[in-house]
Amino acid sequence: MNKLERLISKLCPDGVEYKPLGRVCELSAGGDVPKDRFSKEKTSQYDIPIYSNGVDDNALYGWTDKARITLPCVTIAARGTIGYTKLHETPFVPIVRLICAIPNEYLNVKFLKYCVDILTFQVPTSGIPQLTVPMIAKYVIPVPPLSAQYEIVRILDKFTELSAELSAELSAELSARKKQYEYYRNELLTFGEGVPMMPLGEIAKIGTGSSNTNEGLEQGMYPFFVRSQEVRYKNSYEFDETAIITSGDGVGVGKIFHFVQGKYALHQRAYRIKIIDDTVNPKYLFYFMKSNFLSYMQMTAVHASVTSVRKPMLDKYPVPVPSIDEQNRIVAILDKFDALTTDITNGLPAEIEARRKQYEYYRDALLTFKELEA
């Protein structure tokens, strides 16, 4: 029997009372921005943070000189990021769209935060989606003895810390592998003067699709390439070929590339590049464009409301064409690097997700008690 089990067995062997938040917390809604005492930047006069309903750094709205909340509390986003919670242990000012919960003397503020995190808030479907103080007041949480609350907080804090450390290590490993891959890719795709250069328009057929974004499905028979890294689907196709796909405009222009073999559909403002010259390996061109095209585009792109790529730019894009044997060698090396990086990239989210589920399992187990019978 661990320490927590001993505490529960000793202090509440018959169960734990569940109480509405309105009985164990002082609940209040945020107010207006104190415009006559407000600064966007922290100063010697204005050093009290003002928080809204944003997530993490986006929650900081500005600064003022007088706190409204001076006791440790948990805030709950009432609109927008509904249900997002944050622990506050220093004085601050909450503004509209935030609800504050200050625990009474029988409730640890960190324990309250962990309990609120697992609540599923029901938001009305009619009118403006939002939470109100009366709504939140009705949700119930377990209230074990304070000593048990402190032990639960200690365990969950430690678990959270260990998960964060592991995620940081995995992210650092991924970043290092990506830099290594980019270095070798750039080395392999840098050529001397002896390699002939050819305009892309002479070695490839370049065109666009005819599909619109709203035709995309979450599931379908054929991949549908739009103007983002996300691949959607359709139940009809436009092309059946080996091609390179890139965005014609939008935020990902010059960065987004797909290598496709087989049937697919294409957005009307995305380009397909199909090699028509037997002396060029399509996969070689794919790797070269991924490493080089963005810098070319930045020098020649048309800037309007968004940056866009025009077909003449693609036609004139200079491509080094070493021997087909050299191209094949480069592709074989980069395929191996790409597979390694992809494995790590896919493995990282999977590992983080596994840790998150493990954490949630233990958190939920630690916050689930036999309810004391009335």
CATH of the domain at 312: 3.90.220.20
Indicate whether 38 and 69 sit together in one domain.
yes
**C-alpha distances in Å from residue 296, one per residue of 258, 300, 309:** 18, 6, 11
Indicate whether 317 and 327 sit together in one domain.
no
Indicate whether 117 and 30 sit together in one domain.
yes
Indicate whether 233 and 173 sit together in one domain.
no
Burial 199-212 (b: 16+ CB within 10 A, else e): ebbebbebeebebe
Identify the domain containing residue 37 by its residue range: 17-143
Indicate whether 210 and 187 sit together in one domain.
no
Q: Using an 8 Å Cβ cutoff, are 25 and 103 in contact?
A: yes
Return the closest-CA partner of residue 16 out of 373, 374, 372: 372
Indicate whether 346 and 244 sit together in one domain.
no
Q: CB under 8 Å to 174, separation ≥6 — which residues?
A: 344, 345, 348
Q: Report pLDDT for 347.
A: 64
**Model pTM score:** 0.62
Indicate whether 248 and 289 sit together in one domain.
yes
Q: CB under 8 Å to 26, separation ≥6 — which residues?
A: 100, 101, 102, 104
Q: CB under 8 Å to 271, separation ≥6 — which residues?
A: 206, 207, 208, 245, 246, 247, 248, 309, 311, 314
Distance, in Å, from the CA atom of 314 to the CA atom of 72, rounded to the nearest integer, reads 59
Which contiguous run of DSSP H or E holds residue 310? none
Give residue for tokens 């940056």: 307
Indicate whether 310 and 340 sit together in one domain.
no
Q: CB under 8 Å to 310, separation ≥6 — which residues?
A: 302
| C-alpha gyration radius of the chain | 29
Distance, in Å, from the CA atom of 230 to the CA atom of 255, rounded to the nearest integer, reads 13
Q: Using an 8 Å Cβ cutoff, are 234 and 224 in contact?
A: yes
DSSP letter at 249?
B
Q: pLDDT in tens for each of the 374 residues of the chain?
A: 466 677 677 777 778 889 999 999 999 999 998 888 999 999 999 999 999 988 887 889 999 999 999 999 999 999 888 999 999 999 999 998 899 999 999 999 999 999 999 999 888 777 788 899 999 999 999 999 998 899 899 988 988 888 778 778 877 877 888 888 888 888 999 998 889 999 999 999 999 999 998 898 988 999 999 888 889 999 999 999 999 999 888 777 887 789 999 999 999 989 999 999 999 999 999 999 998 898 888 777 665 555 778 888 899 999 999 999 999 999 999 988 887 777 666 666 677 777 778 888 888 888 888 887 76
What letter represents residue 115's amino acid? C
Q: Report pLDDT for 129.
A: 86
Q: CB under 8 Å to 253, separation ≥6 — which residues?
A: 227, 246, 247, 297, 301, 306, 307, 308, 309
How many domains does the structure of the chain reveal? Answer: 3
Q: CB under 8 Å to 33, separation ≥6 — which residues?
A: 50, 61, 62, 95
Distance, in Å, from the CA atom of 354 to the CA atom of 72, rounded to the nearest integer, reads 32
Indicate whether 158 and 203 sit together in one domain.
no
Indicate whether 242 and 256 sit together in one domain.
yes
